[in-house]
Amino acid sequence: MSIKKWFEIDLRELILLGLIVAMKVVLEQFSFGPATVKVGLGFIGSVLLAYLFGPIWGAVGGGISDLIASAIFGQQGGFFIGFTLTAMVAPFIYGLFFYQQPVKIWRIIVATLLVDLIVNIGMNTMWIHIMYGLDLKAALIQRAPKEIIVPWIQMIVVYFVLQSVSRVKIKK
Amino acid sequence: MSKIIIGRYIPGDSIIYKMDPRGKLLVAILFIFIIFLANNWLTYGIIALFAILAVAATKLKAKIFWDGVKPLIWLIFFTSVLQLFFTTGGTIYWKWWIFTLSSFGIANAIFICIRFTLIILISTVMTVTTMPLEIADAMEWILKPLKLIRVPVDKIALVMSIALRFVPTLFDQTLKIMNAQRSRGADFNDGGLIKRSKAIAPLLVPLFISSLETAVDLSTAMEARGYRGSKGRSHYRVLRWSKVDLVNLFYLVSLTALLIIFRTH
C-alpha cells in the first residue's frame, strides 16, 4: 500500500479531525479526581482520535494537538520534539485496538496498559532523561507511583466514553 | 476567557517581538540540544548568561517568567534531590543503603536545576512574545520538508489552523455545557471513581455532537467558496525574514561556538 492511500481523507473528516484535535487541547486543560491523584482528561482526546480516525490520522491528530497546545499554552518544560512523538504514539496504539472495532473490555485494558507502558513509562521517561540528563533509574522511581495508579482510572473512563460515543456514531 | 483566546501572548515592543516566528521557534527547539554541550561550570555560566540576555531583551517584567517556572518548581526540586542521591562518583561524603552523597551528585543536581530553569525560560520567551497563529505558521514551515516523503503537509496545516481557531470556541462551549449540566444537578467533582467517570459522558457527548455539526457546516461552507483540496492555492498570510533575524541567528551560532570551545572534552 502506498503512503498516499494511508492519508486518504475527505474534507468533512479533515475538519472533524481539526475539531477533535481542538477538543483534545481543551480537555487537556481539565483534570478530575482527588488532589493526590489528578487525572488529566487529555487521554480522552487521544482515544477519540484513535476511535474515529484510526492509527494513522489519529497519530497525525495527536501530533498536531501537541503542537497547537504548545503554540497556545506553551509547553511546560520547553519545546521538545520527543513529546510530540509521544502524543502521536498514544492515539496510534489506541487506534490499533479501537478503530472500527466493537467496544470490548479486553481491548480497553490491553490498549491502556500498552499506552501506559510504552508511552508514559517508556518514552516520556526517556525524553526527560535526554532533555535534562537525569539518571534513568531515579526518573523511573519518581514517575512509577502515578503510572501504576492512573491507567486503571483511565480504563473506566475510556469504557464509558467509548460506549457513549459509539451510540452517537450509530445514530448518524 | 480572554486569557484562553490569546493564550500566553503578552503584547510588547522590543527587538524579540520583531523577529520572525520561524527563527524564534528554531532557536527554542535547538536550545534544548545546545544546552547539552554545557558540561562544566564555565559553559553553564555562558549559557545562563545568554538565556538571561534573551529574557532581558524581551523587556517584560520578571514576574511573567517566574510564572512560567512556578508550576514546575516542586518537580525541579524533587528531581534534583533524587539526582543528588543517585549520582555516584567523585568524593563520597555520606552513604546509606542505596543513597550516596558525592561531589558529582551535588554538581549534577545543581546542573539539572539550571538546565530545567533555562529551558523553561527560553520557551517562555518564545510563547510570550509570539502570537499562537504565528507559532502555528512557523510550525507549518518547519514541517514542510516532510513533503519529500509524501506526508500531506497542506492537509496537516489545514487541520492545524482549524484546531487553533476552534480551541477558544470549544473551551467556551465546554464551560457552557458544564454549567448547563450543573444547573440540572450534574456533579463533576464528587462521588466515587465510577460515578465521576460516568459524569464525563454528559459533558463529552454534547461537545462531540456539536463538533460533528460544525464539521458538516464548515465543510459545506468551504466547498461553496471553492475549496477543492489544498493543491494550487495561494497564501494570504506570509512570513518574511528581516535583518533582526540575523541577530537571532548570530545569537545561536555564537552560543554554540562558545560552548564547543569551553566545554570539557
Q: What integer best gives the mean pLDDT of chain A?
A: 86
Contacts of A26 (CB under 8 A, 6+ apart): B167, B170, B171, B174
A12 closest CA partner among B200, B159, B176: B159
Residue-level pLDDT at B2? 40
Using the predicted structure, report yes or no on whether residue B1 has a pLDDT greater than 60: no
The residue type of B83 is: Q
pTM of the full structure: 0.88
Measure the CA–CA gap between A47 and A43, rounded to whole angstroms: 6
Residue B91: enclosing H or E segment and its boundaries?
Answer: none
Measure the CA–CA gap between B106 and B101, rounded to whole angstroms: 7
Instruction: Encode pLDDT of B110-147 as tens digits.
Output: 888 898 889 888 888 888 888 888 888 999 999 999 98
Question: Which among A23, A61, A133 is the nearest to B211, CB-wise?
Answer: A23
Instruction: Encode pLDDT of B84-109 as tens digits.
Output: 877 766 677 777 766 777 788 888 88
Residue-level pLDDT at A4? 67
Across the interface, do A19 and B163 touch by the CB < 8 Å criterion?
Answer: yes
Measure the CA–CA gap between A150 and A33, rounded to whole angstroms: 10
Instruction: Encode pLDDT of A41-95 as tens digits.
Output: 899 999 999 999 999 999 999 999 999 988 888 777 677 888 899 999 999 999 9
Across the interface, do A135 and B87 touch by the CB < 8 Å criterion?
Answer: yes
Which of A33-37, A136-140, B253-257 has the least mean pLDDT? A33-37
Rg (Cα) of chain A, in Å, rounded?
16
A residues 74-133 near B, CB within 8 Å? 74-81, 131-133
Mean of pLDDT values over B61-68: 86
* DSSP-derived pairing of the beta strands A39-40 and B92-96: unpaired
Give counts: helices (H), strands (E), chain B.
11, 2
Q: Which residues of B touch A12 (CB under 8 A)?
A: 215-216, 219
Question: Do A23 and B170 meet the contact criterion of CB atoms below 8 Å apart?
Answer: yes
Question: Which among A19, A75, A164 is the nearest to B211, CB-wise?
Answer: A19
Question: Do B48 and B34 meet the contact criterion of CB atoms below 8 Å apart?
Answer: no
A39 or A113: which leads in pLDDT: A113
Top-ranked range on mean pLDDT: pick from B38-47, B113-122, B213-222? B213-222
Question: Closest Cα of chain A to B152: distance in Å?
Answer: 7
Locate cell 487553533: which residue? B164
How many CA atoms lie within 13 Å of B199's alpha carbon, on the beta-carbon side? 21
B25 closest CA partner among A26, A88, A78: A78
Residue A63, burial from CB neighbour count under 10 angstroms (0-12, 13-18, 19+):
buried
* Contacts by B78-82, CB closer than 8 A, 24 or more apart: B78/A142, B79/A132, B79/A134, B79/A138, B79/A139, B79/A142, B79/B112, B79/B116, B80/B109, B80/B110, B80/B112, B80/B113, B81/B109, B82/A134, B82/A135, B82/A138, B82/A139, B82/A141, B82/A142
Q: What is the ipTM of this complex?
A: 0.89
Top-ranked range on mean pLDDT: pick from A64-68, A136-140, A168-172, B246-250? A64-68
Which of A34-38, A46-50, A127-131, B35-39 has the least mean pLDDT? A34-38
The residue type of B234 is: S
Task: Kindly report the backbone phi and psi dihedral angles of residue A109, in degrees, each rounded to the nearest multiple of 5, phi listed first.
Answer: -65, -50
In DSSP terms, B102 is beta-bridged to B92
Question: Do B93 and A142 meet the contact criterion of CB atoms below 8 Å apart?
Answer: no
Residue A50: enclosing H or E segment and its boundaries?
Answer: helix A42-73
A19 closest CA partner among B47, B213, B102, B1: B213
A7 or B7: which leads in pLDDT: A7
The DSSP 8-state label assigned to residue A35 in this structure reads: T
Terminal C-alpha separation, chain A:
30
A163 or A6: which leads in pLDDT: A163
Question: Do B35 and B85 meet the contact criterion of CB atoms below 8 Å apart?
Answer: no
Q: How many CB atoms lie within 10 A of CB A99?
A: 18
Question: Closest Cα of chain B to A136: distance in Å?
Answer: 10
Q: Which residues of A touch B122 (CB under 8 A)?
A: 78
In DSSP terms, A32 is beta-bridged to A39
DSSP string, A89-126: HHHHHHHHHHTTS---HHHHHHHHHHHIIIIIIIIHHH
Question: Closest Cα of chain B to A6: distance in Å?
Answer: 10
